[in-house]
Structures are given as C-alpha cells and as structure tokens.
Amino acid sequence: MARIGGRDEVDAYVGARIGLRRSALGLSQSALAQQLGISFQQVQKYETGQNRISASRLHRAATVLGTSVDTFFPPVETAQGAADSGWEGLRFMTATADGRAVAADFPLIESRETRRAVARIVRALARDG
C-alpha cells in the first residue's frame, strides 16, 4: 500500500472501516469517542485516516463496535496474486454521509434479488455519471 498526501492508505482504510461499522450500528462519533475515552475530533481524524490509531485503541474500538480487529484491515496481498483493490471504492464511499448510509443500510435488504437490483442501478448510474 502506498501513501496518500502523507497518509498511509492502510490507515485511511482502517479509519473508513471504523466509520462504516460505527454508522451501521447507529453510533455518533461522539458516542464512540465517549466509549473510547477520547474526543469526537480524534474519532474524525481516525475515520479520515488523518491520524493512525494505536493497536490498543483499535482493539478497544473493535470491542465497543462488536467486531474483530481484522475486519478493519484490507486483504493481505500474497505471493499468489494481488489482493482485491475494492478497498479504494470503500474509502470513497465512506467519505460522505450518503455513502455511509447506503453502505450501512444495504446489508439490511433481506431480498437477494433486491440487493442485486440495487447494485445494477448503482453500476448503471456510475457509468452514466
């Protein structure tokens, strides 16, 4: 992974995943910050990748958010081939409130056919863009 404007891409990815999980649970940045014992501004900095999160704080965030630490990291590239680069799209999607809302609510659509239809609509709109 490379650096983006002085930031490491993994830090940005981890922060975006924290923000996505937080949003999916309906937690505000302030609520997460309070449970972590930090300011909401620090949570913002983690979520944008501006600041990197320490291992101990990431572990605490995973506990608070009810998930495992590894869910915050991108796939590891192996000798057999490069990992999926879909993380870039995730970073951009979680950069806006609308994107986070879509990402948080999409898994709640019970019908597989409806999820596929929504995905087709998004692809079509992106191509027309």
pLDDT given for residue 91 in this prediction? 67
Could you state, in chain order, the average pLDDT of each consecutive group of 10 residues for the chain (129 residues)?
Answer: 61 91 90 96 93 96 94 73 59 76 82 87 79
- Under a CB-based contact definition with an 8 Å cutoff, are residues 10 and 73 in contact? yes
- The residue count of the chain comes to 129
Nearest CA to 39 out of 27, 31, 51 is that of 31
* pTM greater than the 0.75 cutoff: no
